[in-house]
Structure 1
Amino acid sequence: MRQRSLTALALVAAVAVGTAGCTVERHWGGSTNTAGSGKAKIGLVTKTDTNPYFVELRNSASAAAKANGADFSALAGQFDGDNDGQVRAIENLTQQGVNTILITPSSSTGVLKAIKDARDAGILVIALDTATEPPDAVDATFATDNFAAGQQQGAYVKAALGGTDPKLLMVDGTAGSSVDTERHGGFLKGIGLTDASPEIKGHTAANGDQSLAQQGMENLLQRTTDINAVYSMNEPMGRGAYAALKARGLTGQVVMGSIDGGCEGVQNVKDGLYATTVMQFPKKMAEQGVLAAVQYAKTGKKPAGFVNTGSAVITDKPMPGVPSQNTAWGLQNCWGGTK
Structure 2
Amino acid sequence: MKQFSRPGLAVVAAAASLSIALTGCTESRTVESAPVGADGGPVKIGLVTKTETNPYFVKLREEATAAAEANGNELIALSGKFDGDNDGQIAAVENLVQQGVSGILITPSNATGILDAIEKAEAAGIVVIALDTETDPADVVSATYATDNTEAGRLLGAYIKARLGDTQPQILTMDLDPSASVGVQRRTGFLEGMGVPEDSPDILGSAITQGDQTKAQQGAENLLQRVGEQVNVVYNINEPAARGSYQALKDRNLTDRVLVGAIDGSCEGVQDVADGEFAATVMQFPKEMAVQGVAAVETYAATGEKPSGFIDTGAMLITDDPVDGMESQDTAWGAENCWG
TM-score (ref. length: structure 2): 0.87
2:325 alignment partner, SS class:
coil
- Paired with 2:48 and 2:194, the residues of 1 have a C-alpha distance of 34
Tell me, in whole angstroms, the C-alpha distance in 1 between the residues paired with 2:315 and 2:328.
Answer: 10
Aligned-residue offset at 1:335: 3.7
CA contact (8 A) 1:47 1:76 kept: yes
Using the alignment, how far apart are the partners of 2:140 and 2:321 within structure 1? Answer: 41
Q: Which runs of 4+ in 1 moved over 2 A?
A: 33-39
1:37 and 1:174 map into 2 onto residues whose CA distance is 43
TM-superposition CA deviations, 1:256-309 (whole Å, max 9, x none): 110000111101100111100000000000000011111111111111110000
Q: Tell me by how many angstroms 1:38 deviates.
A: 6.9
Instruction: Tell me the residue number matched to 1:329.
Output: 333
Q: Could you report, residue by residue, the CA deviation over 1:224-257 in whole angstroms, capped at 9, with x for unpaired residues?
A: 1211001001001001111111011000000111
Q: Indicate the SS of the match to 1:198.
A: coil
Change in 2 beyond 3 A, CA 1:107/1:281: same
Distance 1:187 1:263 in 2: 22
Contact preservation (8 Å) 1:38, 1:297:
no
Change in 2 beyond 3 A, CA 1:111/1:294: same
The aligned counterpart of 1:139 is 142
Structure 2 Cα separation of the partners of residues 164 and 90 of structure 1: 49
**Corresponding residue for 1:25?**
none
The farther-off stretch of 95-104 and 37-46 is: 37-46
Residues in 2 aligned to 1:296 and 1:36: alpha-carbon distance in whole angstroms: 15
Structure 2 unmatched ranges of 5 or more: 1-35
Does residue 75 of structure 1 match 2:81?
no
What are the within-5 Å matches in structure 2 for residues 220-299 of structure 1? 220-225=223-228, 226-299=230-303
Question: Partner residue of 1:52?
Answer: 55
Give the paired residue count: 304
Structure 2 counterpart of 1:85, one-letter code: G
SS at match of 1:219: helix
Unpaired segments ≥5 residues, structure 1: 1-32
- TM-superposed CA distance for 1:189, in Å, is 0.2
**Which residue of structure 2 aligns with residue 311 of structure 1?**
315
CA distance in structure 2 between the partners assigned to 1:200 and 1:37 by the alignment: 58
RMSD value, Cα: 1.3
Shift of 1:195: 1.3
**Cα deviation code 1:107-165 (max 9, x no counterpart):** 01000000000000000100000001111100100000000000000001101112201
TM-score (norm 1): 0.88
- Which residue does the alignment assign to 1:192? 195
